[in-house]
């Protein structure tokens, strides 16, 4: 190999391009791993608890969180190395995806909390009705 194939600037440029591609690929995978909107909206269940359990399942972020983590790791390394000429688009996409995942995780937690509360509430209401009947 000739010495010119090991030019530091050229190697750095190649590495920066590859790093940006890795960030973009991880972001694309994260977007694809998000829950399907129809699965979140359309539910087939016989009762409220079934609806909430189906919703919890539909709101599972799966690999999206891990893919976002991978994108952020590569982004932070590239940003600190000043490897990206313009990282604004990547940063904006990461922030948008992070916000959306946060909303999904919050909805998942709320559905989980409600699903765990309803059986006890139903039991208490049944007891109250039974006590009132006596």
pLDDT at 94 over 90: yes
Percent of the chain with pLDDT over 90: 75
Mean pLDDT, all residues of the chain = 91
Q: Which pLDDT score, from 0 to 100, does residue 134 have?
A: 67
Nearest to 42 by CA among 31, 32, 57: 57
CB 48 within 8 A of CB 106: no
> For residue range 2-58, what is the model confidence (pLDDT) as tens digits?
555 678 888 888 888 999 999 999 999 999 999 999 999 998 899 999 999 999 999
The per-residue pLDDT for 13 is 86
At residue 47, the pLDDT reads 94
CB–CB of 59/108 below 8 Å?
yes
**Percent of the chain clearing pLDDT 70 (strictly above):** 95
> Does residue 67 register a pLDDT over 50?
yes
CB-based burial of residue 23 (10 Å sphere; 0-12 exposed, 13-18 middle, 19+ buried)? Answer: buried
Query: What are the E-state strand segments in the chain?
Result: none
- The pLDDT, as a whole number, for residue 4 is 57
Check residue 75 and give its pLDDT: 96
What's the CA gap between 72 and 78, in Å, rounded?
10
pTM: 0.83
pLDDT of amino acid 63: 94
Rounded CA-CA distance 12/94 in Å is 23
CB within 8 Å of 96: residues ≥ 6 apart: none
């Amino acid at each position: 190999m000739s010495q010119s194939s090991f030019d530091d600037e050229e190697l750095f440029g190649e590495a920066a391009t590859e790093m940006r591609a890795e960030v973009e690929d991880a972001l694309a995978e994260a977007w694809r791993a998000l829950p399907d909107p129809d699965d979140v909206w359309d539910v087939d269940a016989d009762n409220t608890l079934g609806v909430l359990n189906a919703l919890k399942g539909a709101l599972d972020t799966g690999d999206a969180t891990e893919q976002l983590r991978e994108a952020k790791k590569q982004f932070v390394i590239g940003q600190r190395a000043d490897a990206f000429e313009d990282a604004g688009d990547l940063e904006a996409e990461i922030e948008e995806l992070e916000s959306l995942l946060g909303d999904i995780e919050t909805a998942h937690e709320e559905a989980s909390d409600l699903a765990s509360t309803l059986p006890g509430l139903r039991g208490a209401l049944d007891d109250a009705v039974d006590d009132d009947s006596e």
